[in-house]
Structure 1
Amino acid sequence: MNIINDDDMKNILVTTCDADSKFPSNYTAALTWKYLEEKQPALTTIYQSPLFYNWKLDSLSFITRVTGLLRSLLMLGALIPFNINTMSIFSFSLSLAKKGNFIHPGYQMDDIICLIRWMGVTQQRLRISMIPVPVVSGPTSGETIETEIMEWARQARRWTIGAAEVFHYFIIKAKHIPKIAAFSWGFVFIIYYGVLLCSAGLFNFASTISMLVLVKNVPPIITYIMYGLFGLQMLTFLVAFIIDAIIVRLINVHEFIFILRNIFHFISTPFVLVAYSLVELYALHEVVIFGKKVCKHGASAKNILN
């Protein structure tokens, strides 16, 4: 039996993925090129392709589609550039996997768990490098709109509970990570999962309602600032829809979405974000009350995928 030497492990790349993944034919070539171009950073870098959920996405409800578009945007604009975490489909060297004792299957968000553990064994914050090829991942789905929304909520709840479990794991393991690396990663993790995903939508909704109903004689400058922030938010959402219009051509996916339906989806985006935040708020209270008992990996249905 041949055993791979430690020196040779840096020449072997491992990719983990979900069953509902469609890889482009040039994924391996793009990964290899990126790895060699960066001088084989075996113990410092994890590789992530941007994920897009355009697997029959045009046949699903606005809630599922808007969520998929925003997830892709957040991966491109936050998760990868700020080295927060990999998601579902990522690649790494065999030497890093061995040094970090591979991937722990006992956690539902094992991709982030292994990132934390690997930061401890390498004694540094790991960099996430983007592979310049998109990968298609399957969105949640159901036989009817009602079941689809139920599966969407189930997925959002599971992700939130998983993020809470990850943060608990991080707090325990942080003592094994250099202080600056632990603080910087923990800070961006809280900003992304705690503020951006959970709190931002609810804060915007509550502040808007209070300005319209409760607060009287609002100074004009405050009104202008509120409208400006709302416009900036909608502009950000527009970027997600523009990326979607471009990416379907790059990945050769045929979608047909009438322009009025697309406009409706765009207008509904802040409301979907509020609904998502409400599910997250509920899930966080579940974790607080029931603890580890709710930390289970219940996969969402994806019945329309074939």
Structure 2
Amino acid sequence: MPSSLDSSPSSSLDNLDSGINAAKLESANRFVRWNLLFILIIFVFLLFPIWLPLIPHINQVTNIAIIIIIGLFQLIWLVATICAIRRTLAINSRIKLKNIKSQDVESAETAAENYSTIRHIVAMTLYKEPMSSCLSVIIGMECRTPDKEAKRDQVYAEYKGKFLRLIVTFHPSDIPGEIGGKCSNMNYACRQGLKILRQDADYNYEKYEHVFTNCDCDAVFDPEYMLELEAEYSKLEHADRHSSIWQSIIVYKRDSMPFFVDVTGVLRTFFFMGVLIPWNINPMSHYSLSVKLLEEGAFTHPAYQMEDIIALIRYTIMTQREIRIRPLNLISINGPTSGANYADGVREWALQIRRWTIGAGEVFHYFIVKTYRIPGLYLSISWASRFFIYYGLVLCASAIFSVFSAIIVQLINIVAAEHDRLFISDSLFSTICFIFLGTQYAFLLIVTVLVRWILPVPGNSNQNYNKGLRGVARGLWHWVLMLPTITAYSFVELYSFLELGFRGKDVCKHNAANKNNLILTSKMSIG
């Protein structure tokens, strides 16, 4: 029977990371923001081609130093590409194996019976998103959500009887120490939802092992997501089950997208397969974990805005054990940013990048403040290095450095004092930079082929979008525009880091990008 909870501000302080506790967390280190260190390293790195040629004697190694750095970026792309190819092959292998096996009703019932001791709890948050993409078991709404009662009633009208339990919570606004957004909303919804389930005598909460899935309201799951999750969950020993986060490969899909949105979505899918999962950095968008880990990890931090980026390091700190991200070899779909027109689309695209970037900077601050609680010096240094390489160098600095360093060095050499070049002359330097430009486009071509034409993305609209003469021509044109898009993305990131550095905590708000023009019509079941 569906349950609802009409929340009040007073109830929100009951056993939550909110109120006085969250206020203390927010005020801690408010004037020493460790993301300034993050920004400083990025700027020292980006200014490298300017100051190095001006230092006597050391400037002899300018050319070789620039080549080594760009070469290291190419090595990162090579490693990421290999990881992405392996994950793509694994996903396609699973599809082939599934097609070979008999998928009749009897086998499905047998699988369900084997995992009958596991129950799923799916949670999502809702603010201004269109109701047509809403699917969840626990739905967390903000008290300031426009027409929240009407949306709640619409949820019950459409989904009553389709779930074992359906719970809607209203997260109170203006709780001291919290910031509005998914983190605080999800924190409240999960705690209240689990409380309701435990109090429900008919549900028999203690009888089952529970797996939690955190998702966005525009998430579209593979029909076998829960079955695959149960299978992977059941393969692990007890300790590993509660030290793992499962991540599917997310594709950002819409029937028509501006090139910069399309390119960004393709790259994000690639980085899921090539960096975020194999490098064990953080989950993203929607992911699954045991409820035991969710509770031991104190749910989500209400004073931060990016509950996915902060998840792995927060759970590592709270549980005092290393948490692993494990891949699910299937595809999930999220909606990309959208706008009413092209200019609005650019604004929404930049807004989303800004939110991700500021969130990453805040997570780095959280990590530094909590470093002393991380179990092991090696784990601390290792995760910080991977996190900085991805968010600081790969996403923010590498494209700007690779594109402009050769030009800047040549211009600086005009005004710098004459000096000998060690090993690499200026002409050879230019040649190698052009070669690296070619290898970068070769990597981007592999990315394009993998994500657009090899990944088995569900939905006929995606096939029509990427296939046929028009689809292939569009994909190749967007491949040409990939490097300019990455460079523009990096400049938005750089600006966002600067804004975070100058304005501090004041910019850490969940200003979500608009998706009002996005409707996912090809829904897939979550169970």
Q: Deviations over 1:33-69 (max 9, x none)?
A: 111123352222110001100233xx11111110110
Q: In the alignment, residue 55 of structure 1 is paired with which amino acid? A: R
For the pair shown, the structure with the greater C-alpha radius of gyration is 2
Q: In the alignment, residue 505 of structure 2 is paired with which amino acid? A: K
TM-score (norm 1): 0.91
CA contact (8 A) 1:54 1:253 kept: no
2:484 equivalent to 1:271 = yes
CA contact (8 A) 2:352 2:513 kept: yes
- 2:459 corresponds in structure 1 to 252
2:403 equivalent to 1:205 = yes
The CA distance in 2 between the partners of 1:261 and 1:214, in whole Å, is 39
Q: In the alignment, residue 281 of structure 1 is paired with which amino acid? A: L
Q: In the alignment, residue 387 of structure 2 is paired with which amino acid? A: F
The CA distance in 1 between the partners of 2:394 and 2:457, in whole Å, is 29
Aligned-pair identity (%):
37
Q: Deviations over 1:109-128 (max 9, x none)?
A: 11222322210133233110
2:375 equivalent to 1:194 = no
The CA distance in 2 between the partners of 1:91 and 1:237, in whole Å, is 30
**Quick one: structure 1 residues 250 and 256, their matched pair in 2 at CA, closer, same or farther if it must change by over 3 Å?**
closer
- DSSP-derived class of the 2:245 partner: strand
The CA distance in 2 between the partners of 1:192 and 1:21, in whole Å, is 24
The CA distance in 1 between the partners of 2:278 and 2:388, in whole Å, is 16
- DSSP-derived class of the 1:256 partner: helix
Q: How does 1:1-306 map to 2 (within 5 A)?
A: 1=199, 4-5=205-206, 11-40=209-238, 41-56=240-255, 59-178=256-375, 179-210=377-408, 218-246=425-453, 249-254=456-461, 255-257=464-466, 258=470, 259-306=472-519
The CA distance in 2 between the partners of 1:142 and 1:287, in whole Å, is 25
Aligned residues: 301
1:239 deviation in Å? 1.9
Q: In the alignment, residue 274 of structure 2 is paired with which amino acid? A: G
CA contact (8 A) 1:15 1:91 kept: yes
Q: In the alignment, residue 430 of structure 2 is paired with which amino acid? A: T
Structure 1 residues not aligned, in runs of 5+: none
Structure 2 residues not aligned, in runs of 5+: 1-198, 415-420, 520-527
Q: In the alignment, residue 111 of structure 1 is paired with which amino acid? A: D
- DSSP-derived class of the 2:246 partner: strand
Q: Deviations over 1:156-196 (max 9, x none)?
A: 11111111111111111111102221111111000000000
CA contact (8 A) 2:444 2:482 kept: yes
Q: Which moved more, 1:142-151 or 1:34-43?
A: 34-43
- DSSP-derived class of the 2:501 partner: helix
Q: In the alignment, residue 225 of structure 1 is paired with which amino acid? A: I
Q: Over aligned residues, Cα RMSD in angstroms? A: 2.1
